[in-house]
Amino acid sequence: MDLLKKLTEFDAPSGKETVLHSFIKGEAEKLGYEVTIDALGSVIAHKKGNGKKLMLAAHTDEIGVIVNYIDENGFIYFGRLGWLEQKELHKRRVRFENGTIGVIGVNEERYENKPDMTSMFIDIGATNREEAEKLVKVGDTAVFEGEFTVSGDTIVSRALDDRVGCYVLLKAMAEVKDSKNDLYFVFTAQEETGMRGAKSSAFTVMPDYGIAVDVTGACDMPGAEKSDVKLGTGVAISHKDAFIVSNREVVKTLQNLAGENGIPYTDNVKDGGGNDSGAIALTGPGVKAGAIAIPLRYMHSPSEVIKKSDVDACTKLLIEACKHEW
């Protein structure tokens, strides 16, 4: 788990993934891949083959906040980088790029009448605007704090969405020695703010097939939607989300590969949410695309929860997908 822990420790909100991308580029080059970084910052690692172009994608960015105003008392107002549950933000710690720690507070009276982001602020302990601006400025970004811990088969950490997908890609890259496919492992930027990195990198690659590797909401808690996607059930093969109806050939191939190799899986259908497959599918004349995912509880929080056994199942299926002649 050392590699996954390392990946979660990088602060990389949307648009600020550079340091993490440099690390991933180095890891890919150690494995002998030809690596480029596109204009949006996505890392494209290529292993040449004579078959179909297969793009495997996992996003590097995490949810965060961006400063839009500092008031005369030194309180910092902010906007979202990615989807955030407002009700979960109060009293959460955030960490700015320079290491400054802040706590999210709420104007209780204003929030009661207008419960939105304008009622929230970040407190860094400053007494006035001038003092605050010595540490934080408009346009600065921050991420949420959350320690990486392992207990048996359970992993709890910040930023597992989608550093665990990046981990799966890197593990597959190390394992896939022979493939007839033309393989592109892509670590995409800015997924949380509109799948932007997948759009630009897919235009660079112009793949025949695309598979996104991400997390998906586990449906095993009180009040959750009805679904077989739960922690410990293996890899989830996506049929639909808010941005794509997965290509039937891709879905069937992934199901067959899982069945043939004894890899536990569940079928995943979502009305909401999305991942990079939705952007990849709409590239050029269209791409046959789908997604595989790891069930996760408490998405977009500092304490996301997954199972190691599900990560292993996802990794094994991705390896088989890379070896399969599409």
DSSP codes joined into one string, 164-198: HHHHHHHHHHHH----SSEEEEEEES--TTTSHHH
Name residue 137's amino acid. Answer: K
Question: 276: how many CB neighbours lie within 10 A of its CB?
Answer: 34
Q: Tokens representing 106?
A: 């709420």
In the residue annotation, 191 being an active-site residue is answered as yes
Residues 6+ apart with CB under 8 A from 171: 3, 315
Provide the 8-state DSSP code for 245: B
List beta partners, residue 252.
Answer: none
Q: How many CB atoms lie within 10 A of CB 103?
A: 14
Looking at residue 90, what DSSP letter applies?
T
Q: How far is CA 240 from CA 131, 216, 307, in A?
A: 49, 12, 23
Q: Which of 17, 27, 191, 192 is catalytic?
A: 191
- CB 112 within 8 Å of CB 152: no
Concatenated DSSP letters of 256-272 = HHHHHTT--EEEEE-SS
Q: Which residues are catalytic?
A: 191
